[in-house]
Structure 1
Amino acid sequence: MKNRFLIVICLITISCKAQNIVPIYNGPENEPPLPHYYKDVDNDFDRIVGTWKWQEGNSSLTIELKKILSAPDIGSNVSDILIGGYTYIKNGVECTNSLPMPNLPMDKLTNHSIWGGVIGTPIKGAPPCPECGTNPRYVKVQVREPENPLLEGKFIMGHFIQNGVEKIRLLFLNTAISIPTADYTGPEEMCIPEFSTLTLTKQ
């Protein structure tokens, strides 16, 4: 009986580790059989991880990003993702703030104000970034405000180094109501102006 129990545990362990790796960037046209592990094989997310800040006058945007390995995806798939939070101050007034990031369980990671991660060259709508090189890889994540959770937008970010300082060029766009409802009476725009292109410096 004990041997049978050990065999079952071994089989479960093997099956849990049997996800077929699919690169998030430049994955194959014909994906391997399920389940998948959508993996950041080139560590593109790592360049974006950290705390970043843009400031102009008394307005500022501070974002914090963290990489999560093997986060739950659809079905039995898993994926590397970015999670994060941010603070936006407009003309000296705090407009939205989701920092510090809450410590959410793995099955609730999409409740963060920043989550997800698409890697592409190019990504449609990516910000102009000649400093990012001739063939830059951009990272796109979903963004929401804790004060208005039904509103969502996207950050598209490119990483570069200028005079030894790490920076990201960020574009905010695609504000929309994530779950359209007839009785929605909230704002139709998020605090950060649509199509804002900002340069943030690593803190």
Structure 2
Amino acid sequence: MRNYIYSALFFILLNNSCKAQNPILDIDTPKDNFIGVKGAYYKDTKNVLNGYDGTYLYTSGNTSLKIKLQKNIKTSMNNFYYEDLIVGEYQYIENGVEKVNTLSKLTSTSNNNSISGSLILTGTEFGCKDCKPDEKRLRLGITSSPNFGEMDVRKTTVNGKAAILVVFWWTGPIAVKAGDPMPKPAVIKAGTYTMIKQ
């Protein structure tokens, strides 16, 4: 009987020590050199990522941009730490011609989405001159192979409808070998898009 008690006590202590080695941190916790703490879970403890899920549409004439966003819980992009993320995919139609459509890639199990991130910006930080001091918005990464860039996403309303204000910019193509031609620019033009929730 004493052996069963010792065995149970051993497993309880082992379980508690394992939990201590895998801390739960808020997603706003800075990651040293963008590396993070091994085994940690960067959790959306304040629910800042809530309310971005859904399909958003920008239209101008016969040009449109559709983005689908969703919140993924405890995702590991690098098998080093876990985090809550906003991920997404998009469709871009220019002058009635579909240029790119990645919408079918959006699943709850994928960790290789065209849009992803969880960087929370507050107030006027990084260029939002008309943001309120405590207003939160997101900075996400976006890829349009072989190009990559970033996008700021800010919640807003347009004519009483939920919307997001998205600012895109491209930072460069994925590494190009010496002698290879430069890749074509990304199909989505850099700029600001007001997108209505569908």
TM-score by length of structure 1 reads 0.77
Q: Which residue pairs with 1:119 in the alignment?
A: 120
Structure 2 counterparts to residues 85-100 of structure 1, below 5 A: 85-100=89-104
The amino acid that maps onto 1:19 is N
Q: Is residue 192 of structure 1 aligned with residue 188 of structure 2?
A: yes
Once residues 19 and 191 of structure 1 are traced to their aligned partners in structure 2, the CA distance between those partners, rounded to angstroms, is 41
Q: CA deviation at 1:193?
A: 1.2
Structure 1 residues 18 and 39: CA distance shift in structure 2, 3 A: same
Q: Which residue pairs with 2:136 in the alignment?
A: 137
SS in 1 for 2:56: strand
Structure 2 counterparts to residues 35-50 of structure 1, below 5 A: 35-50=39-54
Q: CA deviation at 1:124?
A: 2.1
Structure 2 counterparts to residues 145-184 of structure 1, below 5 A: 145=144, 148=145, 150-184=146-180
Task: Confirm or deny: 8 A CA contact 2:158 2:196 kept in the other structure.
Answer: no
Q: CA deviation at 1:65?
A: 0.6
Which residue among 61, 77, 81 is the counterpart of 2:81?
A: 77
SS in 2 for 1:44: coil
Task: Confirm or deny: 8 A CA contact 1:20 1:34 kept in the other structure.
Answer: no
Task: Confirm or deny: 8 A CA contact 2:89 2:113 kept in the other structure.
Answer: yes
Q: Which has the larger radius of gyration?
A: 2
Q: Which residue pairs with 1:55 in the alignment?
A: 59
The amino acid that maps onto 2:22 is Q
| Unaligned 5+ runs, structure 1 | none
Once residues 185 and 70 of structure 1 are traced to their aligned partners in structure 2, the CA distance between those partners, rounded to angstroms, is 39
Once residues 15 and 175 of structure 2 are traced to their aligned partners in structure 1, the CA distance between those partners, rounded to angstroms, is 37
Task: Confirm or deny: 8 A CA contact 2:88 2:106 kept in the other structure.
Answer: no
| CA shift digits 1:123-174 (9 cap, x unpaired) | 4245x6x4x64542120111112xx2x3111111111234431111100013
Task: Confirm or deny: 8 A CA contact 1:152 1:175 kept in the other structure.
Answer: yes
Task: Confirm or deny: 8 A CA contact 2:31 2:37 kept in the other structure.
Answer: no
Count of matched residue pairs:
191
| Unaligned 5+ runs, structure 2 | none
Q: Is residue 201 of structure 1 aligned with residue 196 of structure 2?
A: yes
Give me the identity figure in percent: 27
Q: Which residue pairs with 1:23 in the alignment?
A: 26
Once residues 17 and 50 of structure 1 are traced to their aligned partners in structure 2, the CA distance between those partners, rounded to angstroms, is 36
